[in-house]
């Protein structure tokens, strides 16, 4: 018998395996690079995120510092941190106080711009004679309020304005950088808001009798992972109590809310304008 068929050499075994592997690699690469579907959601106009806007306007940052000059009590808590690390402090302050902007803006600028650094030194020597230069500011503040001595007050004012100038300068630089990223960030915030409201809408059980196009302003506290902290608060009611509770319930039920695509758009406190009945 001539069973050569079974022990004859088999050419091209490895060659074929390699070619087949190459073929699939090619196919995979082709797929990977050519198939990139992007579903971009059309910008739905149902929701705006209110608190996202202020931080971009520079004045918002000046808002907190000037107040303390007039009202010493709250200051001690806020003041000590700023001089060493102005940036983070400012960043934290941004979102919560958007409105005082216009009133405060005019004052700080005239004061601060003429004397950006020279002013910074005088306060320090004056403070040095006292035992504790930096940690002390809180106590002097309260004491000064009680005694209302002129000298100390002026000293505090000078120091205040120096800090203000410093802060102003830092703020100015930071603002320039931020304004550039502003457009992209706004967009990210908007899509994020759209996604949040879409999620909430899915969980919303509409009470009977709701009609028209009511609008609610809800304040939500978020963790970075999107989960809702505590109870969301209704800042502006829709006018329908049942609808309000339904919205709040829907928000709690939607936790964790979607995260923004751009992590920088994330904020801890979010004011959401929500129109539950709008289609």
Q: How far apart are CA 195 and CA 214, in angstroms?
A: 20
Q: Near other proteins by CB under 8 A, which window of 19-27, 79-87, 174-182, 265-273? A: 19-27
Q: How far apart are CA 154 and CA 69, in angstroms?
A: 11
**DSSP H/E element including 17:** helix 13-34
Q: How far apart are CA 70 and CA 268, in angstroms?
A: 28
Quick check: 77 binds other proteins (CB under 8 A)?
no
Chosen residue from 62, 161, 190, 191 binding other proteins by CB under 8 A: 191
- Closest to other proteins by CB, 30 or 179: 30
Residue indicated by tokens 């709690």: 252
Quick check: 263 binds other proteins (CB under 8 A)?
no
Quick check: 20 binds other proteins (CB under 8 A)?
yes
Quick check: 11 binds other proteins (CB under 8 A)?
yes
How many residues bind other proteins (CB under 8 A)? The answer is 40
Q: Which of 38, 62, 174, 149 is nearest to 110 (CA)?
A: 62
Q: Is the Cβ–Cβ distance between 232 and 248 less than 8 Å?
A: yes
Total residues belonging to the chain: 279
- Closest to other proteins by CB, 27 or 91: 27
Tokens of 119: 């002013």
Question: C-alpha angle 244/93/160, rounded to 5°?
Answer: 140
Quick check: 205 binds other proteins (CB under 8 A)?
yes
Query: What is the end-to-end Cα distance of the chain in Å, rounded?
Result: 83
Q: Starting at the edge strand that comes first in sequence, how are the strands of the sheet with 216-222 ordered?
A: 48-49, 269-274, 216-222, 228-236
Q: Near other proteins by CB under 8 A, which window of 86-94, 174-182, 202-210, 237-245? A: 202-210
- Closest to other proteins by CB, 182 or 262: 262
Which residues have C-beta within 8 Å of that of residue 147, sequence separation ≥ 6? none
Q: How far apart are CA 279 and CA 266, in angstroms?
A: 26
Quick check: 4 binds other proteins (CB under 8 A)?
yes
Chosen residue from 119, 162, 204, 265 binding other proteins by CB under 8 A: 204
Residue 30 C-beta: closest distance to other proteins, Å: 10
Quick check: 213 binds other proteins (CB under 8 A)?
no
Quick check: 229 binds other proteins (CB under 8 A)?
no
Chosen residue from 169, 198, 252, 273 binding other proteins by CB under 8 A: 198
- Closest to other proteins by CB, 16 or 269: 16
Quick check: 208 binds other proteins (CB under 8 A)?
no
Kindly list the residues in this chain that would bind other proteins in the complex (CB under 8 A).
2-5, 7-13, 15-17, 19-21, 23-24, 27, 31-32, 35-41, 191, 194-195, 198, 201-205, 258, 261
């Amino acid at each position: 018998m001539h069973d050569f068929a079974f022990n004859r050499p088999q050419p091209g075994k490895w060659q074929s395996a390699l070619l087949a592997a190459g073929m699939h690699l090619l196919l995979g690469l082709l797929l990977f690079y050519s198939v990139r579907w992007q579903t971009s959601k059309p910008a739905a106009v149902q929701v705006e995120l209110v608190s996202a806007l202020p931080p971009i306007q520079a004045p918002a940052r000046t808002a907190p510092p000037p107040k303390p000059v007039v009202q010493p009590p709250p200051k001690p808590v806020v003041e000590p941190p700023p001089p060493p690390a102005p940036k983070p402090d400012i960043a934290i302050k941004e979102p919560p106080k958007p409105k005082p902007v216009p009133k405060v803006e005019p004052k700080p600028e005239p004061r601060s711009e003429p004397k950006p650094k020279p002013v910074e030194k005088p306060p320090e020597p004056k403070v040095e004679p006292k035992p504790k230069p930096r940690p002390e500011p809180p106590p002097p503040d309260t004491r000064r309020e009680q005694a209302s001595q002129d000298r100390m007050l002026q000293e505090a004012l000078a120091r205040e304005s120096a800090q203000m100038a410093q802060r102003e300068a830092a703020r100015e630089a930071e603002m320039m950088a931020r304004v550039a990223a502003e457009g992209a960030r706004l967009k990210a915030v908007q899509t994020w808001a759209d996604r949040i409201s879409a999620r909430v809408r899915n969980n919303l059980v509409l009470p009977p009798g709701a009609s028209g196009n009511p609008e609610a302003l809800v304040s939500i506290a978020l963790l970075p992972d999107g989960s809702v902290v505590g109870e969301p608060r209704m800042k502006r009611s829709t006018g329908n109590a049942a609808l309000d509770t339904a919205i709040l319930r829907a928000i709690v039920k939607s936790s964790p809310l979607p995260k923004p695509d751009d992590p920088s758009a994330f904020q801890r406190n979010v004011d959401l304008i929500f129109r539950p009945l709008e289609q």
